Amino acid sequence: MELLPFSYDIKHGPENENVVADTLSRTCGAAISSLEELKSIYNSLAHPGVQRFWHFVRSQNMLYSIDEVWRMTSECPTCAKIKLQFLNSSNYIHINSTAPFKRLSVDYNLPLPVSSSRCHCILTVVDECSRFLLAFPYRD
């Protein structure tokens, strides 16, 4: 999208003639990083899972494939331990929502950074059928 306003022709040339790296290859080369760095980012984001982490990787234009993300998250010992607790819980009964606003999930998100409105927390209400979100700021 950034190059769209410019008029240019792309010509292929032999690799040995491209002695000085151009801007595009430098940018791509700098973006390539190891799987260890990917694991570090995943851990710093508090183990978000495959879908949310893949969304993060794409939003940051990281050069990882979905297979690399999936392999790395499936090998994470912390996620494997937590996933077993959720899958084997005999106390948990999931009730599907059959219509909008029949089943709501409510939670407080706090503490918030100090802002001009001085709100310290947000009450979130999510409709489980439509995933419609309501957020209400509160001072206390």
pLDDT single digits (tens) 50-92: 888 988 998 888 888 889 888 888 888 888 777 655 555 566 6
Q: In whole angstroms, give the CA distance from residue 57 to residue 86.
A: 25
Q: What percent of the chain has pLDDT over 90?
A: 5
**39-52 average pLDDT score:** 87
E strands, the chain, are 104-109, 121-127, 133-138
pTM: 0.41
Q: In whole angstroms, give the CA distance from residue 103 to residue 126.
A: 9
**7-11, 59-63, 135-139: range with lowest mean pLDDT:** 7-11
What number of CA atoms fall less than 13 Å from residue 100's CA on the CB side? 4
> Which residue type occupies 51?
Q
When mean pLDDT is compared over 44-48, 87-91, 116-120, the highest value belongs to 44-48
Pairwise pLDDT comparison (125 vs 9), residue with the higher score: 125
pLDDT value of residue 21: 52
What is the rounded average pLDDT for all residues in the chain? 77
Q: In whole angstroms, give the CA distance from residue 72 to residue 37.
A: 11
Q: In whole angstroms, give the CA distance from residue 64 to residue 68.
A: 6
